[in-house]
Amino acid sequence: MSLLVVGSIALDSVETPFGRTESALGGSAVYFAAAGALLHPVQVVGVVGRDYPMEELRRVARRGLDLRGVTIADGESFRWAGKYGFDLQTRETLETRLGVFANFKPEIPEPFRDAGFVFLGNIDPELQLQVLEQVHQPKLVACDTMNYWIQGKRTALLKLLEQVDVLLVNDSEVRELSGDWHIHRAARWVLERGPKFVVVKKGEHGAVLVERDRIFYVPAFPLDDVFDPTGAGDAFAGGFMAHLARTGDLSDANLRVAMVYGSTMGSFAVERFSIGRFEEITLADVTARVRAHRDLVHFELEPGDADRR
Amino acid sequence: MSLLVVGSIALDSVETPFGRTESALGGSAVYFAAAGALLHPVQVVGVVGRDYPMEELRRVARRGLDLRGVTIADGESFRWAGKYGFDLQTRETLETRLGVFANFKPEIPEPFRDAGFVFLGNIDPELQLQVLEQVHQPKLVACDTMNYWIQGKRTALLKLLEQVDVLLVNDSEVRELSGDWHIHRAARWVLERGPKFVVVKKGEHGAVLVERDRIFYVPAFPLDDVFDPTGAGDAFAGGFMAHLARTGDLSDANLRVAMVYGSTMGSFAVERFSIGRFEEITLADVTARVRAHRDLVHFELEPGDADRR
């Protein structure tokens, strides 16, 4: 089933202890799509300015992105600049210039409106709601958000939650949204407001899928060198949603596998600046890392082992 | 095979957002033994003052502790007092009075010297070395340590590492010991100095077993209410070592199961003050939670799922 993402398309300038990049492809829709397209084609809706390096985006698109929903508007593209601390745990935003993104009004092209799977990247919840008005009965809708909207657009965000199936956020966001520092209680607070699933991303500590009566953990894939954490969460969402879209299977067992694909894509995202790693790898690399994830957590209780009384 | 622990036996006064306790049973050897004894008998070596409530300790001992290695010395017992912040993530030490523990010289009773499994709780590494001089060819030796010894007794600690099989520490300790903030690299630094395995405990983020070419993660068991985090690490060690001692199996597969028993015991430890929870539960409760751990992380790759190219 087709997979649609609506989100930012940006130019990122990032400095880490290992180097820096200037005006590289970035934004939630770009990370999501670059990761997801390794598994399943991704329809992209977003806006860029006339300065955007469309030839670079089109090069990436050959791997499975449908760019018919990308509008080129008069003005400058969304630009973000940030700098990470020595352990990559802290990040300072040096510059945010919204450019044409400030007036973004998502218009879903007619051929995209039948998307079975929809990911609403981190944009104004009022715009996320507008997207939902334009699509026809998707099988699964997931959304991201951030502290800025939790604080400033709470009413719209709560209205949105009533209409989405999955909320994918990081730990600080679910804490702020719910007012509860305890992640599982916080996630269950969200479950009472509409979503059937909450995915909480915890960076180096992995991610957790919270359902009403079940919890699933996936660790972050262990990497010796994290190069640039930017976009890991959106790449996670891309892997998660693309696995669901390509299988069309929303069983609990398959949601767990989708979490592993998400974690895998997050781990690739941080190995290079921008979406560089996704241009190097193939599906074989992805599936190898998915299998390696299993070895990270798998254990067998011997027959009788857990039965001894 | 028999299991020996050498460590502190203390009286803890703890304040959490949920209540407080005064002069309750505590110390690394007590948490280790209370947890471990649910799986396998534990021989305890330590020292207490004349003020220690030995009748309480003997009540616990009926569940499987051999107290013949506990010396009652003239003077006061080791006392620790601490206060946790609202989210239980931060802890302030209000008082540490070493009492008779200041002059502790571990003497291993003759019947304990053949122990197959030895856990050296967090005490001066010179004393940990003295223990190793007294035991005969144990099958597995594990040790804990803390920042105080890493800073003040580094030479003795590095000598100790050459003689132990497992280092069980928390994330900040392995970082400080190795000088590397990256946990896997830090653990591998330790592996080069003697131990075959490093267990890094990460509190609410679970624990990781690092071997030369393999990594295993176990999440912290999700609890709605953590009551008092004191002793969770020692209870983890107790579950880990007791499972190995009762099975006598040091295979990679069984080490993983031991990690799950460790995590399970850590989760029980935090549900009450002191070792209260271990007095309430039975092996059946332990095995039920071990099984539940499996559901937290288990996923199945469909046949062909990870093979699709």
Beta bridge partners of A21: A14
Between CA B284 and CA B38 the distance in angstroms is 10
Question: Quick one: average pLDDT of B282-291?
Answer: 97
pLDDT (0 to 100) of residue A217: 98
Q: Residue A303 has what pLDDT?
A: 56
Residues from chain B that touch A186, judged by Cβ atoms under 8 A, are: none
Question: How far is residue A240 CA from its own chain's centroid?
Answer: 8
* Mean of the per-residue pLDDT values of chain B: 95
* Rg of chain A (C-alpha set): 19
Find, in chain B, the residue whose alpha carbon is nearest to that of A222.
Answer: B184
pLDDT at A308 over 50: no
Whether A174 contacts A146, CB under 8 Å: no
CA B71 to chain CA centroid, nearest Å: 21
Span B75-99, average pLDDT? 91
> How confident is the model over B269-293, as a mean pLDDT?
96
For residue B12, is pLDDT > 50?
Answer: yes
CB of B162 within 8 Å of a chain A CB? The answer is no
In tens, the pLDDT along B38-74 reads 999 999 999 999 999 999 999 999 999 999 999 999 9
Q: Cβ of A216 and B309 within 8 Å? A: no
Distance from CA of A181 to the nearest CA of B (A): 7
What is the distance of C-alpha B238 from the center of its chain? 5
What pLDDT score was predicted for residue A86? Answer: 79
The two structure tokens encoding residue A183: 């992640």
Determine, for residues B309 and A184 on separate chains, whether the beta-carbon distance falls below 8 Å. no
In this structure, how many other beta carbons lie within 10 angstroms of the beta carbon of residue B248?
12
- Average confidence (pLDDT) over B165-193: 96
- Give which of A218, A219, A308, A231 is closest to A268, Cα–Cα: A231
Q: Which residues contact B55 (CB under 8 A, 6 or more apart)?
A: none
Does position A127 have pLDDT exceeding 90, yes or no?
yes
CB contacts of B297 in chain A (<8 Å) are 216-218, 297-298
Q: How far apart are CA A237 and CA A145, in angstroms?
A: 12
Cβ separation of B295 and A206 shorter than 8 Å?
Answer: no
Give me the pLDDT at residue B226, please. 87
Measure in Å the smallest separation between the Cα of A188 and chain B Cα atoms: 11
CB contact under 8 A, B287 and A306: yes
Task: Report the alpha-carbon distance of residue A212 to residue A195 in Å, rounded.
Answer: 10
Helix (H, G, I), strand (E, B) or coil at B259: helix
Mean pLDDT of A224-240: 94
What does the pLDDT read at residue B291?
Answer: 96
Query: Is B307's CB within 8 Å of A295's CB?
Result: no
pLDDT for res B40: 98
Structure tokens at A261: 């694909």
Helix (H) or strand (E) holding A31, with range, is helix A28-36
Mean pLDDT over A166-188 rounds to: 95
* ipTM score for this prediction: 0.91
A307 falls in which pLDDT band (50, 70, 90)?
very low
Confidence at B303, pLDDT banded by 50, 70, 90: low
A281 touches B: beta carbon within 8 Å:
no
3-state secondary structure of B135: coil
Give the residue with greater pLDDT, B17 vs B122: B122
So what's the pLDDT on residue A272?
95
Alpha carbon of residue A308 to chain centroid: 43
Name chain B contacts of A299, Cβ cutoff 8 Å: 216, 253, 256-257, 259-260, 294
Chain B contact present for A295, CB below 8 A: yes
Phi, psi for A222 (deg, rounded to 5): -75, 120
Cα separation, A120 vs A44, whole angstroms? 11
Beta strands in chain B (DSSP E): 3-6, 10-16, 19-26, 42-49, 65-73, 78-84, 91-97, 117-120, 140-143, 166-170, 197-201, 207-210, 215-218
Q: Which of B185, B256, B300 is nearest residue A224 as measured by Cβ atoms?
A: B185
Cβ atoms < 10 Å from Cβ of A82: 18
Residue A305 has pLDDT above 60, yes or no: no
> In b/e form, how buried is each residue of A225-245, taking b as 16+ CB within 10 angstroms?
ebbbbbbbbbbbbbbbbbbbb
- Interchain contact, A305 vs B260, CB within 8 Å: no
Mean pLDDT within B26-39: 98
Rounded to the nearest angstrom, the minimum Cα separation between B53 and chain A is 31
Counting residues of chain A whose pLDDT is more than 90, the rounded percentage is: 93
Q: How far apart are CA B196 and CA B214, in angstroms?
A: 11
- The answer to whether the Cβ–Cβ distance between B257 and A305 falls below 8 Å is yes
3-state secondary structure of B6: strand
What is the tens place of the pLDDT at every residue in B143-161? 999 999 999 999 999 999 9
Burial of A9 (0-12, 13-18, 19+ CB in 10 A): buried
- Is B296's CB within 8 Å of A87's CB? no
Query: Which pTM was predicted?
Result: 0.94
Of residues A113, A112, A64, A117, the one with CA closest to residue A248: A117
Residues in chain B with CB shorter than 8 Å from the CB of A224 are 182, 184-185
Q: Where do the DSSP E strands lie in chain A?
A: 3-6, 10-16, 19-26, 42-49, 65-73, 78-84, 91-97, 117-120, 140-143, 166-170, 197-201, 207-210, 215-218
- The predicted structure's pLDDT at residue B23: 96
pLDDT of A218 above 90? yes
One-letter amino acid at B142 equals A
Residues 184-213, chain A, touching B (beta carbon < 8 A) = 184-185, 202, 205-206
A297, A301, A302, A309, best to mutate vs chain B, most B CBs in 10 Å: A297
- In the prediction, which pLDDT does B308 show? 42
- Helices B171-178 & B183-191, crossing angle to 10 degrees? 60
pLDDT tens for A9-51 read: 999 999 998 899 999 999 999 999 999 999 999 999 999 999 9
CB contact under 8 A, A290 and B306: yes
Chain B residues whose CB is inside 8 A of the A260 CB are: 299
